[in-house]
Amino acid sequence: MAILRSRGPQATSHEALIRTLYAEHGKALLAYATRLTGDRAAAEDVVQETLIRAWRHPEVIANPQGSLRGWLLTVARNIVTDRYRAKAARPNEVAETETVTPVHRDHSQEVVDSVVMMDALSKLKPEHREVLVEIYYRGRTASEAAGRLGIPEGTVKSRAHHALKALRKLYTPSNPGSALKLRKVGAA
Amino acid sequence: MSTQQQHPNGELLGAYVLGVLGTDERSTLEEHTAECEECRMELTALQEMEAALGEVPPEAFLEGPPEDGDLLLQRTLRQVRAEQTSAWRRRSLAVGLGAAASAAILFLGGYAAGGNDPGSVTAAPPSATPSASPSTSPSTSSSPPQEGLRVASATDSDTKASITVELTPASQWVRVNASVAGVPSGERCRLVVVSKDGHQETAASWVVSPGPSPTASPQPGEGGLNGSAAVAPDEVESVIVVNDQGKQYVGVDM
């Protein structure tokens, strides 16, 4: 009979994975979860759960279909949705413990347009993407964006136009191809 | 360009949709689109695109770790350790119960092939019946090939130990899937990824269980060792198997 006396699986590489995800995506995830929950402590729980789910799906990280950032944000949003819905439905529920999450769904198999859009954005030329990020996502004016990017205002405007046009070619909502691949990720 | 002449503000439609035109530019453009069917259609299409941008939250473009998030990181790491430990205990137990049959390789890696949740990983059935096949030639994994996957194998002429490694690149790390044969039972071994600068990162560790056939060769991806190492894919020099005294049984250049 085999007798196992080992310290168990190597912890270090798994921790390195978590640390890397945290270092690259932690700020985006926490800011997003904080906005959705309106509560920093709740948001931290959401981020923790998101990172753990990513760790349980190494195939997503190793070979993300589209954007890993988009996948992580979607998982975070779904955790928020589930928890808050569950709480609203059961107002007298006793405090959740760490081991009991109200709804055991993983969502990693879901295809969402946000992931498809993140993917499309990531395929834009950098000069196109940065203009959209400044103007649309950071809410800057053309002249503010021009100052930040070090290009003339007219260039900001024409790039904004070409960026949107390029995006139209790259973005197909719920692209059946990526849907298939994402579904393979598997259920919880 | 003729389109420029026909649609003097054509290149500003995107900026218009995004709301960054000045008052004058905006009214000129609106005057034109009121007259121009083609520009109106283009405008509608761009407006749909602008709306679709809203699928992505603005936070998606923040980079780096959160400020004051160290406790969060530590908590997450603790949870990973706890889940690994309990998953490993369950595996050990199952292996212990089912280990009357013997196998050269125990499944101790972090990631179970095909498993979705380390908490529910079933112990690799001690690799079924040891195949006792003398052949250690690499066989292809049953899973579809992934981009950038590297496969290599080698047999050490002194120890006669052999290894087949599949390396799956990730952004700053690699997933390692290996089968090792020919290491005497009872040896406590580590699968180590060696980087080009000589740094060593352990990807998995195990104890070789006693078995009649030290040459049993589980297929990579089906049974065998699974782990990961925080070495960038380009930096991987080789993968080696060492025991706890540091003796190298076999190594393979990637």
Q: Which residue of B has its CA nearest to A57?
A: B116
Residue B110 has pLDDT above 50, yes or no: no
Instruction: With a cut of 70, say whether residue B100 has pLDDT above it.
Output: no
Spell out the domain ranges in chain B.
2-58, 73-253
Which residue, among A5, A10, A158, would best test binding to B if mutated, counting the most B CBs under 10 Å from its CB?
Answer: A10
Q: Write the residue in B14, B18, B117 that is nearest to A165 by C-beta.
A: B14
Q: Report d(CA A70, CA A50) in Å as an integer.
A: 12
Q: How far apart are CA B7 and CA B23, in angstroms?
A: 18
- What is the CATH code for B2-58? 1.10.10
* Nearest partner of B107 among B229, B191, B194, judged by Cα: B191
Please give the pLDDT value at position B103: 43
Predicted confidence (pLDDT) per residue in B162-203, tens digit: 888 888 877 677 788 888 888 888 888 888 888 887 778 878
Tokens at B92, concatenated: 């050990």
**Is B12–A121 a contact, with Cβ atoms under 8 angstroms apart?**
no
CA distance B83 to A12: 14
| CB-based contact B15 A142, cutoff 8 Å | yes
Please work out, in degrees rounded to the nearest 5, the angle formed at the alpha carbon of residue A51 by the alpha carbons of A48 and A54: 150
Show the domains of chain A with their CATH numbers.
11-108 (1.10.1740), 111-188 (1.10.10.10)
Contacts of A6 in chain B (CB under 8 A): 108, 188, 205-207
Q: How many CB pairs under 8 A join A and B?
A: 258
Residue A142: closest CA among chain B residues belongs to which residue?
B20
Compute CA distances B248 → A105, B65, B163, B177, B239, whole Å: 44, 38, 12, 18, 11
A116-150 pLDDT, tens digit each: 888 899 899 999 999 999 999 999 999 999 999 99
Residue A131 tokens read as: 């203009």
Closest by CA position to B110, among listed B30, B206, B235, B11: B206
Could you tell me the strand order of the sheet in which B188-195 lies?
Answer: B200-207, B188-195, B236-243, B248-253
Task: Identify the pLDDT of residue A89.
Answer: 56
Q: Per DSSP, what are the bridge partners of residue A34?
A: none
Reference A168, options B49, B50, B16, B55; nearest CA is B49
Contact indicator for A144, B23 with CB cutoff of 8 Å = no
Which DSSP string do the residues of A48-73 spell out, in sequence order? HHHHHHHHH-HHHHHS-SS-HHHHHH
What are the tens digits of pLDDT across the range B46-76?
Answer: 999 999 999 899 999 999 999 888 899 999 9
**Least confident window among A150-164, B128-142, B155-169, B175-189:** B128-142
H or E segment and range at residue A13:
helix A11-37
